[in-house]
Amino acid sequence: MGFSELVDTKPKTAYMLANEAVARALLEADVKVAAFYPGSPTSEILDTMGAFAPSFDDLVVEVAANEKVAFETAAGASFAGVRSFTSMKSVGLNVASDAFYSIGYTGVRGGMVLLIADDPHAHSSQSEQDGRFFAFPAHVPMLEPATAQEAHDMVAYAYELSERYGMVVMIRTTTRVNHQSSLVSVGQVKRSPRSRHPWKDVRAPYFTLSATARKLKGERLASLALMQRDAAECPFTTVSEGEGDIGIITSGVSYLYTIESLQTLGISPSVLKLGMTHPLPTATIAAFLQGKRTVVVVEELMPYLEREVRSIAQETAPHVHILGKMSGDFPYVGEYSIPVVVQGLSSALGIDGAPPYEAHRVKVEALKEGIPHRSPIFCPGCPHRATLWSVYMALKGTDYVLNNDIGCYSMYLMEPYNSSDSLLCMGASLGVSSGMQHVLSDQVVAFVGDSTFFHAALPGLVNAVHNNHNLLLVIFNNSVTAMTGQQPNPGSDFGPLPVTRLNIEQVVRGIGVEHVYPVDTFDPKGNIPIIKEALAHTGVRVVISNGPCALYNDRLRRKAGTPIVPNAVDHGVCDAIYACVRKVHCPAIQLDEATKKSVIQADLCNGCNVCAKMCPVGAINPRGGDGA
């Protein structure tokens, strides 16, 4: 959906991404403060809200240093009496969980909604984490949309619940919900002014400790008990009556897979689709179990619903046979699809004659034989490509360990680099390196990007400096949070609203690092002696490799009208040494089958000139030579 349609305040029905539908619903809900740290598959909510901010002077949108700060920012706004919002991927809630559990006790004043997105199949995450298990111990209600329309509609319902009970409400999605597109009917946008008022007008005791914590926990549990009525009457919970004594219980995107799979199998059991999954509508589930012989629970990731349904069945319908993951009919690993659900239902219900999906898969795999394997690769002009080469050359002849981190540079662990010894989670490269330097004789090197540096690596660097550790930290400063779509970070000079850019070198020196080496990413050979000098010292040393993200920089150049001049290979000078291929690994560089010399694809090249600096005979120049 175009931005002009999204920002138009009139009701309409339009084709949009579910994440866009959520952002539009936040406008309609009169949310005043939204804070985020970008993370797929929720990044488009941030991007859309950031685009909204200049058009609505009552709306504040911030890109926070990490998810914990984003959550606390939204909480503070809610404490002060306005509606607030934050979204994050499931592993982001790991970072925010300290504040999340506490606010589960204290409650909120203005409506506050947290959207978390799980990532089955780990498309862009380090684990298949199941975020549903956060809601129960935090005593927080949880909703699960299945469609883009429900994602939009649940936002208003979530704020209603939040303000009725004084609790943060969690909306849990998955990648296939966030990234589905469909026609969505949206409502009227009616904004109100965001005015300032004294704290004494809204003051409440937002703290939890010892006896207070025990008291608040009891109050929250009482609120959840009262919410059972809301769970039973949730407008997003539906029952489709079917034939026979078989039933299916599901939620979220698994409901969509279930409906299509039932059509494929030609069966019509009763289906209970749950819209609120904490607190569960136990009475609704118990009523659904009555008269059933078998109930199949269809859900991705862990058996969250299945365990609860088994417990309810034991008390109210012990004769019902509950099937799902725990019975071995559905897999615990990976993302669901129509073939997966068809196979699971066929197994659980003893159905023969299901479509031969496995035979089709085997045939497809056979057809792929002979096709070259293609790993993910850095964009043409990516600064990370040259930085790694410079570090490699500086480390040549030494024993070393490379601890990587989360960002585009995570691809160092893949071919053709194969250069990471560890990669755990945001900022972990510093902590892991601190532990290793106590027991290894090798050079210990940690990699981290600028966004991850501000997000989670700062405490690790503080720890390393304070404890006199011996390691080299390389910071890839590309000006943006590139991996999730070039959103800003504290080291960027832009944001949804005016920001102050933090200088990484000043931050590092302020922490107490004495040996700091800023380098130009796109001068790979010139950087080798500087990195060698850093390696020659002991203690904490930091190399800051400065070079903008290629996609971000290209966008800036186009906006400014600056021409992007690609390089070309002069075949009259080229000696087919292939240094540009072996050292650069740029997708814009190919081999001419006829001449066996390099050629540069002009529509891919962005003129970073790294390959030109690598060529020992000077055969690569901007728009010149036989290869132009």
Q: For residue range 252-285, list pLDDT tens digits in order.
A: 999 999 999 999 999 999 999 999 999 999 999 9
pLDDT band at 212 (very low <50, low <70, confident <90, very high): confident
Kindly tell me if the per-residue pLDDT of 624 is higher than 70.
no
Cα distance between residue 89 and residue 120, in whole Å: 11
Number of Cβ atoms within 10 Å of the Cβ of 328 = 12
> If you average pLDDT over residues 515-541, what whole number do you get?
97
Number of Cβ atoms within 10 Å of the Cβ of 236 = 18
Task: For the chain, give the mean pLDDT.
Answer: 94
> If you average pLDDT over residues 50-68, what whole number do you get?
95
Kindly report the pTM of this predicted structure: 0.90
> If you average pLDDT over residues 194-202, what whole number do you get?
85
| Residue 357 structure tokens | 């999906």
CA atoms in the 13 A half-sphere facing the CB of 141: 34
> If you average pLDDT over residues 435-447, what whole number do you get?
95
- According to the model, what pLDDT value does residue 453 have? 96
Say if CB 549 and CB 479 are below 8 A apart: yes
Kindly tell me if the per-residue pLDDT of 609 is higher than 90.
yes
Q: What is the 3-state secondary structure (H, E, C) of 52-94?
A: HHHHCCCCEEEECCCHHHHHHHHHHHHHCCCCEEEEEEHHHHH
Cα distance between residue 424 and residue 406, in whole Å: 8
Could you tell me the domains of the chain? Answer: 3-226 (3.40.50.970), 236-365 (3.40.50.920), 383-556 (3.40.50.970), 565-622 (3.30.70.20)
Provide Rg for the chain, Cα atoms. Answer: 27
Cα distance between residue 67 and residue 45, in whole Å: 14
Q: Virtual CA dihedral for 209, 214, 217, 222, nearest 10 degrees? A: -150
Tell me phi and psi for residue 140, to 5 degrees.
Answer: -120, 135
Say if CB 430 and CB 404 are below 8 A apart: no
Cα distance between residue 332 and residue 334, in whole Å: 7
- According to the model, what pLDDT value does residue 201 have? 81
- Summarize pLDDT for 314-354 with one digit per residue, the tens: 999 999 999 999 999 999 999 999 999 999 999 999 998 77
pLDDT band at 205 (very low <50, low <70, confident <90, very high): confident
Kindly tell me if the per-residue pLDDT of 628 is higher than 60.
no
- The residues facing 598 across adjacent strands are 591
